[in-house]
Amino acid sequence: MSSPETASTAGQGGNTPIDPTEVIQGNPVVDAVTEAEMIASEVQEITAGSIVKNHIIASLGVGLVPIPLFDVSALTAVQISLLRSLGAHYGVPVRERELKPLLFSLLGGATPVMAIAGLSSFAKLMPGIGSLAGSAGLSVLAGAIAYAVGQTFILHFEAGGTLEDFDPKAVQAFFRRELEAGKRVVQDIRSEINGTKRNNARTSTS
């Protein structure tokens, strides 16, 4: 005599009962939602990258201004604009009275960075080669700082952080690494800009 379990199985044509979890795992609706979330995350990352790149380009231009000290002030304004834009992008409330202290604390922790920026700016006081060297040096450094500041706050905002819980000391090591990476990024962007200019020149003369 067969057991109730055997009889139940036999009555279903020898097929085992369907496990509901197997149906859920293959749910196309769930897969579509997951894919949509991944796409949204990628779009958010790309947009944040574009914001940083635009401010790197702005920093490169400001760094070339041949007026000592004015450039440092203007670069600070660019960094503040960058943080405002990233805050708006990630839905983080941003107040300017909080931005400057955080920015100065972050940059102040990397003492050599501020020292080099100051020396590059003062080098513009020297006529001729001094002015050119100061402008070129500050331009690259300014772009690298914009990149490092951007990457640092992107990391913080994506983790759900705000300006209130941002700790400049805790991210100093990350900031310095990104600053070095930023110098390479700046060179790539400058090459891209120069390549675009050359292409436009060829197009205009053809």
CA 108 to chain centre: 20
Higher pLDDT, 49 or 29: 49
Domain ranges of the chain: 52-191
pLDDT, tens only, 110-119:
655 554 454 4
CA gap 76, 149 in Å, rounded: 11
pLDDT interval class at 89 (50, 70, 90) = very high
In terms of phi and psi (left: phi > 0; alpha: psi -120 to 50; beta: otherwise), the region of 162 is: beta
> Which 8-state DSSP code applies to residue 55?
H
State residue 69 phi and psi, 5-degree precision: 70, -35
Position 95 scores a pLDDT of: 86
Q: How confident is the model at residue 68 (pLDDT cuts 50, 70, 90)?
A: low
Q: Is the pLDDT of residue 107 over 70?
A: yes
Choice between 150 and 125, residue whose per-residue pLDDT is larger: 150
Q: Which two tokens stand for residue 19?
A: 């496990």
Mean pLDDT for 128-155 is: 74
**CA separation (Å) from 177 to 61, 104, 107, 156?**
24, 18, 13, 15
pLDDT of residue 29: 57
